[in-house]
Amino acid sequence: MRSHTPPRRRRSIVPTLAVAAVGSLLLGIGGALPASAAVLPGVIRDVTVSPTDPSLGTQVTTDIDWCVPDGTQAGDTFSLTLSEYLRSLPPGFTLTDPADDTQVVATAVISTTDPAVVTFTMTEYAETHSNVCGSAFIRSGFDNGLTPGETVPFESEANDGTRFVTDVTPRGGGDGPSGDVDEAFKFGRLSDDQGHTDPNDAVQWYVVTPRGPLTSVVLSDDPPAGMNVDCTSIDLLQGERTATNIGGTFTRPTVIVDVQCTADAVSVTVGPIPEGQAVRLGFKIDLDEATGPEGHEFSNTANVVSTEPGGGVRTDNPSRTIVSATGGGGGEGDDQPSVDIEKWATEDGAADGDFDAEPGKRVDVGTPVPVTMTITNDGDDALEDVDVIDATVSGPEMTGLTCDFSALGGPATGTTWDGPFAVGDSFECTGTVPAMEPATLHTNVATVTGTGAASGTGVTDEDPFNTTTPPVPSIDIEKWATEDGYPAGDFDQLPGKAVGVDSPVGVTFTITNTGEETLADVTVGDTTDTGPDVTGLSCDFSPLGGPATGTSWSGPFEIGDAFECTGTVPGMAVGGVHSDTADVSGVGVESGTAVGDEDPFHVTTRPPAGGLAVTGTEGALTMAGLALGLLLVGASAFVVRRRGTVRD
């Protein structure tokens, strides 16, 4: 196997090749990428092919150096279209951190297209590390049809269009290995898949006899464990043998004396073999299981017993090892520091007390709110120079901020600590939001900063916190004589509006939301204290989105809005007195507080103009009744509550 060295290193560690099983590799990269996955440009820095003078029939290695930008996310990809001359490529591989090969940095998949494309998919490693760089290698065959001594450009192209070229001048080597013609020889070839994913007929072994004349030859082969002979694939051919055509064209049939074959072994007897000729035995191997994407060595030794015409016997044990194509590599980055701060109302606990959004925690007027901050090192690097601050955005400033670092070896008070703040550790800070006036919003932002001990990278986090006191709801009702307008028609006091005998009085009520919050469940009423009842009371809520008639509305009755109601005080006899109290009620939609208001209204009749003087007993009774009525109305008006009250 081949080790590699990424182009940039903070640690002087030589990574080892780590690969995943095909199933897990394809599972990890075969699923749909995140919707936000990006194709990264400018990642591949260099591509080289070595050796530059390979023998035909051997392998070359493609080395790929890369660096991804900080902020790369899991699922982001980059790719390289490989040289068109590469053959028998592996299906894929993984790149791991050399310091911890359980951490997969990226996965790679090689397409079956021509030319092939290797696509690298980053893992979450890139999200927790900065300056992530690495290298990958692909060891594979190449086009055996190239002309020895003729230089060809092995060109590859990154997904951003950057091209890389290595000039390769192959050397001769023939279709197979060469060897002494008087000795038996063995060589092998791999299937296109090379056993990575398909274990069937993954390897084809060849055993070649010494050159004749030979009376007979027995060729035996019992592959090692994990390799099973495919007896249907046995091939016996005869041809001219020279030192360089062992793997050449053997086309002539040979004399077969005996063939014995099982999954464990094969043995054939052939002969006689003419002078200058040799017999080649070929058979394929099924593997017990696919090898996965890693490179795999296939080794085998045959036994060849040759009998010469003079009776001499020669025994050879030719052996051969072939290696499948493979890929691998690694990558590493600086540990990514991170810190988290959570601010919460102490009495509610961390989960329920985390009031990030307005209006936040609702508290009574005059009630302080103790708060707690939990700070956690949630990164991969210890932190130094830790500092906690709290900035007020609105409302009163928080008081008494202090932190307890003592459990981690720091001070028990204060807001700064030199550290080290170890990965996974936490500490708490406390403070108090002072008591507030009604309808007050307190908003602040707690912030923590620190610096990665190893990376030197500064980190920060912040968390808002909100608390509010409820608004004060209020409502106002004004009742007035329509013909006089407001405020001229606002007859709160006796004797009120003076009207003629039997003259009805049109009245208007103006109701206004004078408070600090929207109201619901608004109801208007009118209670008669003296005289005839108001008739035809009705309100028009329609300009505010409510009904055009009636005396109640579910709301919402917004702050500052107003609507009107109308009614009529019936006409009265001489000396008539009308006194009533208009009222309105509602409920604050935020606070749930009930509010109401009242407004008195008075009407009296005056004697008719030019009328006769009232005399005698009847006149005395009439004047006495009027006086008594005014006295009673005055008493009732004395106890009427004024508007603007909040109902308990």
- pLDDT of 217 above 90: yes
In a domain, 333, yes or no: no
Q: pLDDT tier at 37 (50, 70, 90 boundaries)? A: confident
Q: Do 341 and 375 touch, CB atoms closer than 8 A?
A: yes
The per-residue pLDDT for 643 is 38
The per-residue pLDDT for 624 is 40
Same domain, 130 and 101: yes
The per-residue pLDDT for 34 is 54
Q: pLDDT tier at 180 (50, 70, 90 boundaries)? A: confident
pLDDT digits (tens, 9 = 90+) for 415-447: 999 999 999 999 999 999 999 988 899 999 999
The per-residue pLDDT for 128 is 84
The per-residue pLDDT for 178 is 55
Beta bridge partners of 273: 214
Strand stretches in 438-518, DSSP E: 441-452, 458-468, 476-481, 497-499, 505-512
Angle at 336 between CA 103 and CA 444, to 5 degrees: 135
Q: pLDDT tier at 387 (50, 70, 90 boundaries)? A: very high
Q: Out of 441, 468, 495, pick the residue that ends a domain.
A: 468
In a domain, 173, yes or no: no
Angle at 515 between CA 514 and CA 516, to 5 degrees: 140
Q: Residue 618 has which token pair?
A: 């009847």
Comparing 19 with 464, the larger pLDDT belongs to: 464
Same domain, 631 and 502: yes
Same domain, 189 and 82: no
pLDDT digits (tens, 9 = 90+) for 348-367: 999 999 999 998 999 988 99
What is the percentage of the chain residues whose pLDDT exceeds 90?
A: 70
Q: pLDDT tier at 243 (50, 70, 90 boundaries)? A: low
Give the predicted TM-score (pTM) of the model.
Answer: 0.53
Averaged pLDDT score across all residues of the chain: 87
- pLDDT of 244 above 80: no
CATH of the domain at 550: 2.60.40.740
Same domain, 464 and 489: no
pLDDT digits (tens, 9 = 90+) for 284-296: 999 999 988 788 8
Same domain, 598 and 499: yes
Beta strand pairing status for 92-97 and 185-190? Answer: unpaired
Q: Residue 64 has which token pair?
A: 């790929």
CA distance 357 to 467: 9
Same domain, 632 and 530: yes
Same domain, 485 and 458: no
pLDDT digits (tens, 9 = 90+) for 89-141: 998 999 999 999 899 999 999 999 999 999 999 999 998 888 999 999 999 98
In a domain, 150, yes or no: yes
CA distance 450 to 468: 31
Same domain, 497 and 624: yes
The per-residue pLDDT for 273 is 93
Same domain, 507 and 482: yes
Q: pLDDT tier at 380 (50, 70, 90 boundaries)? A: confident
The total domain count for the chain is 4
In a domain, 327, yes or no: no
In a domain, 501, yes or no: yes
The per-residue pLDDT for 472 is 87
Q: pLDDT tier at 614 (50, 70, 90 boundaries)? A: very low
Q: pLDDT tier at 630 (50, 70, 90 boundaries)? A: very low
- pLDDT of 14 above 70: no
Same domain, 528 and 393: no
Same domain, 291 and 415: no
In a domain, 325, yes or no: no
Q: In terms of Cα–Cα distance, which of 432, 430, 442 is closest to 467?
A: 442
The per-residue pLDDT for 245 is 57
Domain that holds residue 349: 340-468
Q: CB-hemisphere CA count at 13 Å for 145?
A: 3
Same domain, 564 and 438: no
The per-residue pLDDT for 179 is 62
Q: Residue 329 has which token pair?
A: 């590599």
CA distance 303 to 126: 53
Helix (H, G, I), strand (E, B) or coil at 634: helix
